[in-house]
Chains A and B, each alone.
Chain A
Amino acid sequence: MVSKTEESQLQQLENQVENRGGGAWEYLSLVRKLKLRRSDKVLKHGLTILNDPKKRSALGPDEWTLYEQVAIAALDCQCLEVAKDCIKVLQKKFPDSKRVGRLEAMLLEAKGSWAEAEKAYSSLLEDNPLDQVISMRRVAMAKARGDILGAIEWLNKYLEIFMADHDAWRELAEIYVSLQMYKQAAFCYEELILSQPMIPLYHLAYADCTSAIAQLTKGRNNEDKEISGLAAAALEKDYKQSSPSKLSLLSSTLRSLKIQ
């Protein structure tokens, strides 16, 4: 989950790098730290560093981390040749590495060789049954193949072991929402709210789920007019300030929803 300050820091760095103002390594490190998916930009700027021997050696031991980051970004952008090259470099430097083995299996995944990737992951898991990343790849593969029920099954198994993984709970909640299984999604959000009550996104998503459930079961319930009235007033104030051209639209929408 990205905070507002982190988001603006990221935006700033991104603009700087895109406009050739330097700071590529800081940008890439921030993306890595926040675990964001910005594969096209990572690929572009990562390769600029890697293809320049001076910049590469300036990274020191971080060079290998960058190879890994760029390999994964390349897989995401379907630039399989680039990914293969990065993985080759890493294989040479770290032969017999499980981490590199993971990348090789991800390459199989990206190629669509599902059975081989599955075999590779299973054998990696035999040696390392508590590897979170590989267990997650299983879920990702199921999802990529369109096997949503399989993804749910793997994800539930994963959460039995790694029940503190918030990203996994979120992923499961989102899958349930896409299948309109709102009760199950609400359960996931409850887990998230219990462990991270200070994140507003979970409360909002939970509210959306429960109101969807309520709407589907008994139609609109207008009992709490006071709270909805207050919310409507607050919304109108916001719109007056930040989006005045849409204020009248908002008012009539609230009227037709009988909240005003």
Chain B
Amino acid sequence: MSNGGELRYVIGQNAYIKLILHALKHKTSSVNGVLLGRLSGDVVEITESVPLFHCSQIGLLPPLEIALIMIEEYYSSQGLSIVGYFHANERFDDLELGTVAKNIADHIYRYFPQTAVLLLDNKKLGALRNKKDTAPVMQLYTRDSSRSWNVANRITTKEPSANILLLDFTSSEKWNDIVDFDDHLDDISKDWLNSELFK
């Protein structure tokens, strides 16, 4: 069994970009999303993500529960399971993992102890335009057997050009095409899988 202290986390660029575009689409509220992937030796590979909610009711449990069940069910047929959670705070300079985020993270931890919790770092995201950086603009948190979520520095993007592609999409305002679970609940014809997004 892998020692949690040596686990690495790698996020694929599609999963990565989707989450950030979602945050950019809803600049004035907190957003969250779920990470899907698999544990492979001492690496947690995050290969997919589903943006969940952007409304200010983000702390409500029933829609979250339904979303998680549906998402888990869909991706299990592809051999993927829920491996983490993404959260972006409402305020620009808020780099704290708040109670709502922690509670949802704890919930996922029960099913997958190597859960990755990613918090968007707005300052790093803003700085991307001026400073070329290949590191993901997110803060990684992991949890050991204690109850607290601790910052870890073990996340990289699978493709080194992920941030360049992200900047590209940002300037073309690609975030308008993102559909999250909230949008789906409003209009069920909207596809939270975003299957057409990167085509």
Contacts and interface: CB of A to CB of B under 8 A. Distances in A.
Nearest to A170: B56
B111 to A, nearest CB: 14
B60 A209 contact: yes
Interface string B60-99: 1111011001100110000000000000000100100011
B92 to A, nearest CB: 9
Contacts of A252: 73
Contacts of B73: 249, 252-253
B70 A174 contact: no
Interface string B178-196: 0000000001110100000
A245 B195 CA distance: 12
Given A178-B100, A238-B188, A215 B57 contact: no
Contact of A178 (B59, B62, B65): B59
Q: Give the interface centre of B56, B58, B59 by most chain A CB atoms within 10 Å.
A: B59
A242 B62 contact: no
A179 B56 CA distance: 11
A208 B58 contact: no
A180 interface: yes
Interface string B24-57: 0000101000000000000000000000000011
A253 B181 CA distance: 15
A10 to B, nearest CB: 15
Contacts of B59: 177-180
A98 interface: no
B69 A256 contact: yes
Contact of A174 (B56, B66, B74, B103): B56
Given A242-B189, A252-B73, A177 B60 contact: yes
A212 B57 contact: no
Contact of A208 (B63, B70, B74, B98): B63
B28 A146 contact: no
Nearest to A248: B73
Interface string A191-208: 000000000000001001
Interface residues of A, number: 26
A260 B40 CA distance: 36
Interface residues of B, number: 26
B188 A239 contact: yes
Contacts of A238: 188
A178 B70 contact: no
A137 B94 CA distance: 20
Interface string A9-50: 000000000000000000000000000010000000000000
Contact of B66 (A209, A212, A242, A257): A257
Contacts of B70: 246, 249-250, 253
A222 interface: no
Contact of B61 (A215, A239, A245, A257): A215
A212 B62 contact: yes
A144 interface: yes
Interface of B: 28, 30, 56-63, 65-66, 69-70, 73-74, 91, 94, 98-100, 103, 187-189, 191
Pick the 8 closest A-B CB pairs, nearest first. A174-B56, A242-B189, A243-B188, A208-B60, A177-B59, A253-B69, A212-B61, A253-B70
28 contacts: A144-B91, A146-B91, A177-B57, A177-B59, A178-B59, A178-B100, A180-B59, A205-B57, A205-B60, A208-B57, A208-B60, A208-B62, A208-B63, A211-B62, A212-B60, A212-B62, A215-B61, A215-B62, A238-B188, A242-B189, A243-B188, A243-B189, A243-B191, A249-B73, A249-B74, A253-B66, A253-B70, A257-B65
